[in-house]
């Protein structure tokens, strides 16, 4: 028992020593922060701006004076707000390394652009919210004072030291222009520290946070572009900040700006793209509705005129031609209807389409005969071009099967089957139980079977067709959906 008591006492004593060390370090850190602005310059500005930034430095110093580090609770508190420490490279070099791996299928440039958008949106939001919270807590009202606190706060929170160029004119309107450098940007340092070099500017979050803070301070939309970067081997990490619609004017005047056009970061660019896409789809749907209405009306008119011709035509060949035309017209009308009803304006549920098309075509021929149509299919959604071609192929083959299959029989059966194979390959089978091919009919001659249109359409979809006559006609078409739609 004595040994256990001794060990417990030793553990308690060790913990107390550690707490004393942490408290000592905490006190030292507080002391350093209190003396921070007295010892170090936190922002470099033109002389005309100095009085404003000197005042801002005192304001920010007062804000950071109240700091508490409590590792036993995992908290860092500054002025009653909890903060977190994040390793710098995780937001730059290591982040882009992971993004390039995740989006390697898109290529390195596109992957970098995706990562850039992520970081800019996050950094801009943080800049806006940090500025708003700081302004409220420190009771800042004047836009100039609000903005001036930004670079000083930037230095205290470990982002970068800001060196403002004398040519800057940060006016609170669309003529706002700020040129500045970060001699010690955490993003550039993360690359340099790992001995890596980038072919693009990497200080995305620095640009985003700064523009977010200034945007909140002045109440105008702002963005920032890095025109030189130490991670590229340049002497400085230099930025230009201005309203998005004006910034290109300033970029064009910079001799240090290379000939490659800069990607102008726009806050929530993806959101803007989504809204544009949504508007485009709505406009496309309106256009499609109008086209569908006109096509449907015209097709109905043509169908009515063709129906009238049957009363005055005795020639069987002409009747067959008119009937084929009617079926093809119906196939096109049905395609338009399905496309119009579809939530995806570029694709069609092909299984459902086969059901309606096959039944309608057979019904149009079975005037006095009892011919049934049996359709089975795999679930398949095809793009509009493939659907149109397959629809006409089915119409032609069903028409041809009926012509050669049922010669006065009272009952008959036509089967249509769509089978899904591996790797987006499909098999379309159309067969009947009729009398088969008439004597001396050449099965290898498409013209004798009336398959000229079918042969051409199958070529267009890079498919193949096999024909047989054994107890009826049977067609097997094999094709591939080269652009499958999930």
**Full DSSP string of 465-479:** EEEEESSSEEEEEEE
DSSP-assigned beta bridge partners for residue 142: none
What total number of domains does the chain contain? 2
Q: Which residues contact 198 (CB under 8 A, 6 or more apart)?
A: 191, 229, 231, 232
* Predicted pLDDT of residue 36: 47
Displacement of CA 330 from its chain's centroid (Å): 38
Beta bridge mates, 432: 414
Judge if 368 and 346 occupy the same domain: yes
Task: Clarify whether residues 135 and 234 are in a common domain.
Answer: yes
Q: Decide if 38 is inside a domain.
A: no
- Please check whether residues 220 and 316 belong to one and the same domain: no
DSSP state, residue 197: -
Q: What is the pLDDT of residue 39?
A: 47
Q: State residue 301's pLDDT score.
A: 56
Same domain membership, residue 258 and residue 192: yes
Q: Encoding tokens for residue 253?
A: 């005047």
Residue 317 and residue 174 in one domain: no
Q: How far apart are CA 387 and CA 375, in angstroms?
A: 17
Same-domain pairing of 260 and 318: no
Is the alpha carbon torsion for 106, 108, 113, 118 positive or negative? Answer: positive
- Does 243 share its domain with 330? no
What distance lies between CA 49 and its chain's CA centroid? 43
* Structure tokens that stand for 92 in this block: 């730059």
Q: Of 267, 301, 317, which residue constitutes the final position of a domain?
A: 267
Which residues lie below 8 Å from residue 288, measured CB to CB, with a gap of 6+?
339, 340, 345
- Taking the chain (486 residues) in runs of 10, the rounded mean pLDDT of each run is 58 66 63 52 88 91 87 89 90 93 88 89 92 94 93 91 93 93 94 94 93 94 92 94 89 60 59 63 63 58 58 59 59 59 65 76 64 82 81 81 64 86 90 67 54 83 86 86 52
Q: Same structural domain for residues 231 and 326?
A: no
Q: Are 301 and 360 members of one domain?
A: yes
Residues of the domain holding 162: 43-60+87-267
User: In the listed set 243, 267, 291, which residue is the last one of a domain according to the structure?
Assistant: 267
The predicted structure's pLDDT at residue 485: 39
Q: What is the pLDDT of residue 105?
A: 87
Q: Check whether residue 262 and residue 283 sit in a common domain.
A: no
Which residue among 206, 236, 267 closes a domain? 267
Edge-to-edge strand ranges of the sheet holding 43-44: 43-44, 162-164, 178-181, 238-242, 223-228
Please report where in the chains the tokens 């001036």 appear, as a residue.
148
Provide the pairing of β-strand 473-480 with 75-78: unpaired
- Full-model pTM: 0.53
Which CATH number goes with the domain that contains 198?
Answer: 3.30.1380.20
The CATH code of the domain that includes 439 is 3.30.565.10
Task: Kindly state whether residues 318 and 257 are assigned to the same domain.
Answer: no
- Following DSSP, what letter does each residue of 34-99 receive, concatenated? HTHHHHS--EE--GGGHHHHHHHHHHHHHHHTSEEEETTTTEEEETTEEE----GGGGTHHHHHHH
The whole-number pLDDT of residue 423 equals: 85
């Amino acid at each position: 028992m004595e040994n256990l008591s001794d060990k417990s006492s030793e553990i308690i004593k060790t913990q107390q020593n550690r707490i004393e060390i942490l408290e000592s370090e905490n006190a030292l850190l507080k002391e350093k922060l209190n003396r921070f602005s007295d010892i170090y310059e936190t922002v470099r500005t033109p002389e005309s701006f100095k009085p404003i930034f000197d005042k801002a430095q005192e304001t920010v110093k007062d804000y950071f004076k109240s700091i508490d580090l409590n590792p036993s609770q995992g908290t860092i508190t500054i002025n009653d707000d909890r903060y977190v420490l994040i390793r710098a490279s995780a937001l730059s070099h290591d982040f882009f390394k992971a993004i390039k791996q995740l989006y390697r299928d898109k290529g390195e440039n596109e992957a970098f652009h995706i990562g850039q958008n992520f970081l800019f949106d996050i950094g801009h939001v943080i800049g806006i919210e940090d500025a708003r919270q700081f302004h409220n807590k420190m009771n800042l009202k004047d836009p100039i004072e609000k903005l001036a606190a930004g670079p000083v706060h930037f230095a205290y929170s470990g982002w970068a030291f800001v060196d403002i160029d004398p040519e800057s004119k940060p006016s609170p309107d669309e003529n706002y222009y700020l040129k500045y450098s970060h001699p010690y940007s955490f993003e550039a340092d993360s690359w340099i520290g790992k001995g890596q070099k980038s072919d693009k500017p990497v200080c995305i979050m620095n640009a985003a946070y700064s523009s977010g803070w200034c945007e909140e301070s002045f109440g105008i939309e702002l963005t920032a572009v890095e025109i030189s970067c130490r991670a590229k081997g340049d002497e400085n990490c230099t930025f230009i900040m201005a309203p998005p619609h004006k910034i290109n004017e300033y970029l064009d005047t910079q001799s240090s700006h290379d000939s490659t056009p800069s990607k102008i970061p726009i806050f929530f660019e993806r959101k803007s793209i989504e809204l544009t896409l949504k508007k485009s789809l709505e406009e496309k749907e309106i256009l499609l509705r109008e086209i569908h209405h006109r096509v449907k009306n015209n097709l109905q008119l043509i169908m009515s005129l063709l129906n009238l011709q049957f009363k005055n035509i005795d020639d069987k060949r002409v009747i067959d031609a008119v009937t084929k035309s009617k079926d093809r017209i119906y196939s096109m009308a049905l395609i338009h209807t399905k496309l119009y009803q579809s939530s995806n304006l570029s694709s069609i549920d092909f299984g459902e389409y086969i059901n309606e098309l096959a039944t309608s075509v057979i019904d149009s021929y079975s005037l006095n005969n009892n011919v049934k149509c049996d359709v089975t299919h795999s679930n398949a959604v095809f793009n509009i071009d493939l659907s149109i071609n397959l629809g006409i192929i089915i119409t032609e083959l069903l028409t041809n099967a009926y012509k050669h299959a049922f010669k006065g029989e009272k009952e008959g059966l036509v089967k249509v089957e769509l089978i899904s194979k591996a790797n987006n390959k499909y098999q379309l089978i159309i067969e009947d139980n009729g009398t088969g091919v008439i004597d001396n009919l050449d099965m290898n001659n498409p013209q004798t079977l009336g398959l000229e249109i079918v042969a051409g359409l199958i070529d267009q979809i890079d498919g193949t067709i096999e024909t047989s006559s054994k107890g009826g006609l049977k067609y097997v078409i094999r094709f591939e959906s080269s652009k499958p739609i999930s």
